[in-house]
Chains A and B, each alone.
Chain A
Amino acid sequence: MEVKNIVSPQEHQPKDYKSENNVRWCPGCGDHAVLNSLHKAMAELNIEPHETVVVSGIGCSSRLTYYMNTYGFHSIHGRAAAIATGVKVANPSLSVWVATGDGDSLAIGGNHFIQAVRRNVNINIILFNNKIYGLTKGQFSPTSARGFVSKTSPYGTVEDPFHPAELCFGARGTFFARSIDVELKNSTAAMVAAAKHKGASVVEVLQNCVIFNDGIHNSITDRAWKAERTINLKQGEKMLFGADNEKGIVLDGFNLKAVTIGQDGYTMDDVLVHDATVKDNTLHLKLALMGAENDLPVALGVIRDVEADTYDEDYAKQIETVQQKTGKKSFTEFVMSTSNIWEVK
């Protein structure tokens, strides 16, 4: 990972990554918290603001770029992943981040998103999932549930949503994490892990749009039942959840099942241990798809974190290898070395 190569003359504080621009999201919007987490994550990583680039598309969430005191590119709808690919391949020593919405990356920019993940370009994608188009004032998005009523679906949608994780794994993604907007500590940890991961990292943040989709994640995030309905996955630890960690995830045939330890004959030994680093993504996908519909808690934390070659590094290596073999050529040396050269004396 490129971050550790940066020799840092000073310890950075979160405020070093804050720009002077006024933050213009609605009061109470989950985006504020995500921004704070990102400032904290960068400080923890201690990356140089001038060696950091944040690229975003269009949407409320994509405005994040303006609030960063790094290099920033607020681009056009859906294209952030492709632009970020250009930035990173052009200069692999930069720390490159993408801020994007569920519409931005899963609708108009769906192809760029999966291709960047497939190529494993070493960028960190923060996907703000509020299951709505915020900036255009409340239309359903590709992550809205079937039947969701919005301004463009007054009778409810008749289409099934994407699960971002499924797209990520379908594109052979090597890193996927999930967090809740207002849980700064967990979000920061997920972003730090994403940056440390070599390759394309996707962090899905469950974000609340107070204006057009207020409470959309409440069935998961409300304090009253969060402990029962979510599980924080930690590398190398048992998959436990519940107010007193009294529940666990076990394997039941090919499926996952939530059990209470000590009931129905289940013991602590039956509870699975989380390993985000296994190459095979079958279990990761199952974990990422857990939810109320299959009587399982929603997984938070780093679900998958697998080492693999990155596009930007391999591209640079290929150039190095060729140049070692043929020598680094100037333009004239190259043209003179082509076939069909003749001299007029």
Chain B
Amino acid sequence: MANQIIVKDLNQVSIRFSGDSGDGMQLSGTLFSTLSAIFGNEIATFPDFPAEIRAPQGTLHGVSGYQVRIGSDRVYNSGDKTDVLVAMNPAALKVNVQYLRKGSIVLYDTDSFQKKDLEKALFTTDDPFNELQLHDVQAIPVAITSLTKSSLEGMEMDNKSMIRSKNMFALGIVCWLFNRPLSIADRLLEQKFAKKPLLVQANIKALTDGYNYGNNIHLTASTYQIETVEYSKGFYTDVNGNQAAAYGLMAAAEKAGLELFLGSYPITPATDILQELAKRKDLGVKALQMEDEIAGIASAIGASFAGRLAATSTSGPGLSLKSEALGLAVMTELPLVVVDVQRGGPSTGMPTKSEQGDLNQALYGRNGESPLVVMAATSPTDCFESAYWASKLAVEHMTPVILLTDGYIANGSSAWKIPDLEEYPEIKPHYVKEFEGEAQTWKPFLRDKDTLVRYWAAPGTPDYMHRVGGLEKDSATGIISSDPANHQMMVNIRRAKIDKIADCIPELEVMGDKDADTLIVGWGGTYGHLLEALEGIRKNGKKAALAHFKYISPLPKNTEEVLRKYKRIIVAEQNLGQFAEYLQGKFGNLNIRKFNRVKGQPFLVWRLIEEFTKIIEEN
């Protein structure tokens, strides 16, 4: 059987590790992606968690997956389909059938494909492949559990602990298949379990034996040789979007010469940002787990008033709770970064699934005329850039900034070149020392004439004692005021201040055929899928262009000019058309076609190509 393995696409392959949430599939997946990156491949990953921590074993809703896509170039996303599925139980097979490509390989653990396992996964016969009509896949049955046990025989550990290493045995087979040197994996395991030498030993043993097993049964490896990528010189690591966002805040704080303060409350899928920053005492980061999301943002606003780079991290339901305090930050014109890792909504929705449903909330979810900056990160590594820029805009323009990421890029990872901060733009907080008049003449809502930005005077600074608050203030004296003309003016100024930020952000770029009739438009975390779809369409001989937005409020200055060039615009987003309506509302008279999918799953590139092509072919 092994000799029949055929792989058509040598440039890119997707591998999905799948099993019970307790099977360690996330670890197999991350190890495989990291070692592939180190080996020199481009990678993109997609962890697909169940909502329950430990759902009943073997059941369909307990399946946890981790997809890794590796390639020699152009790995923009984790891939629609799977070339190799590792199924640790029948439920994993059933749940993932939808992702299997024709001819893909299914490596499965025969020890957990017994009658009772099949029943748990609601199979009615004893032939799951037949039942799922999987006739064109290449099934590789391996007794993974028992082989792992015999591999670890004689080690000082109980049965249960031995079995736990079966994820490493499976990983070993995959490493053989893709010709991955085990030395890298060994090193990674040693780092990961540095404090548990026995575990390292067991895992390395299982991994090695899995690898040797692949060798012994002659799984042909050469077919899977993926070329390495020409990475530019430098040091690399792999990061997921949440880590990258945390790093971006840290880097910005250092660059701005500010202490970093995070006030937060745990919520899936944003918790990692709080956890990452809580670890960074070595950098002097203060990351507080507060009593709720309101206290999270409130403490951050307090820290911002006190002169720190302040941030709060959350997901949709938490952003709802922060609304009133966000309005306070708008009114007091204090810098603040709010990272919203979007998940399926409304309400508790689908915590572990991804979507782009919070755009309207970010733009409009406050009382009154309450403008602020809204940005959206486009990929796991872009979360670093975006968090850096969000911080820069916040402290230079004295405004809250909402940075939208999503569950897909927050948990997905890719290789990241460790940046040289010297090359990053400076961050210059708008301190009150920039104010040209005497301290006695300074008032809290006096502004820079050009940017309309007020000055930041932190407690501790002599002679600049002042009061801010949620009540409207007189533009000149800073004293509370309900004067009609003053309010109108302040409302206008707060809006204009945000609009002027368009002067400080990059213009919108157009990719693909500039002279196409159709412009594809997207924003945030769908970038990788849209870019691949664009390439696919052009490979098929059709013309198309893509404009992907990272700055949403304000929009890049050339937005209207770009949009007006095209006969039709396809706005693709994971909601029911929030960005499409925003653009239409801003500019009007755009020939917009909406493409919307709200399934909690990433876009499927083949589907995008199919649907977009239909639209392009219309006259």
A residues adjacent to B (C-beta < 8 A): 19, 21, 48-53, 55, 58, 65-66, 68-76, 79, 82-91, 93-94, 111-112, 115, 315, 318-319, 322-323, 326-332, 334-336, 338-345
Contact = CB atoms under 8 A, between A and B. Distances in A.
B460 A50 contact: yes
A218 to B, nearest CB: 32
Interface string B370-391: 0000000000000000000000
Given A331-B421, A341-B236, 19 more contacts: A53-B459, A68-B467, A69-B465, A72-B469, A73-B305, A75-B301, A86-B261, A86-B310, A87-B302, A89-B299, A91-B308, A91-B458, A115-B290, A319-B284, A323-B281, A329-B283, A336-B418, A339-B192, A342-B37
- Which of B282, B294, B303, B471 has the most chain A CB within a 10 Å cutoff? B282
Contacts of A318: 281
B508 interface: no
B280 A76 contact: no
Contacts of A72: 465-469
Contacts of B467: 19, 21, 65-66, 68, 71-74
Contact of B282 (A50, A66, A111, A322): A322
14 contacts: A50-B464, A50-B465, A71-B467, A72-B465, A72-B467, A83-B305, A86-B302, A87-B303, A90-B303, A90-B307, A111-B295, A335-B247, A341-B418, A344-B232
B250 interface: yes
B259 A342 contact: no
Given A75-B298, A75-B469, A319-B281, A90 B235 contact: no
> How big is the B interface, by class?
35 or more
A50 B461 contact: yes
A73 B421 contact: no
B421 A327 contact: no
Contacts of B325: 76, 79
Contacts of B294: 79, 82, 112
Interface string B226-262: 0000011111111000000001001100100001010
B343 to A, nearest CB: 24
A335 B282 contact: no
A129 B523 CA distance: 51
Contacts of A111: 291-292, 295
Interface of B: 34, 37-38, 40, 188, 191-192, 231-238, 247, 250-251, 254, 259, 261, 263, 280-284, 286, 288, 290-292, 294-295, 298-308, 310, 324-325, 327-328, 332, 418, 420-421, 458-471, 479-480
Contacts of A87: 302-303, 305-306, 459
Most buried by B among A21, A83, A338: A83
Contacts of A334: 250, 280, 282-283
A-B CB proximity, top 3 nearest: A86-B302, A74-B469, A86-B299
A111 B250 CA distance: 30
Contacts of A345: 233
Given A86-B306, A90-B286, A331 B254 contact: yes
Contacts of B295: 79, 82, 85, 111-112, 115
A340 B188 contact: yes
A89 B235 contact: no
B259 A65 contact: no
Contacts of A55: 302
Nearest to A78: B294
A51 B479 CA distance: 21
B284 A328 contact: yes
Given A93-B460, A319-B286, A76 B328 contact: yes
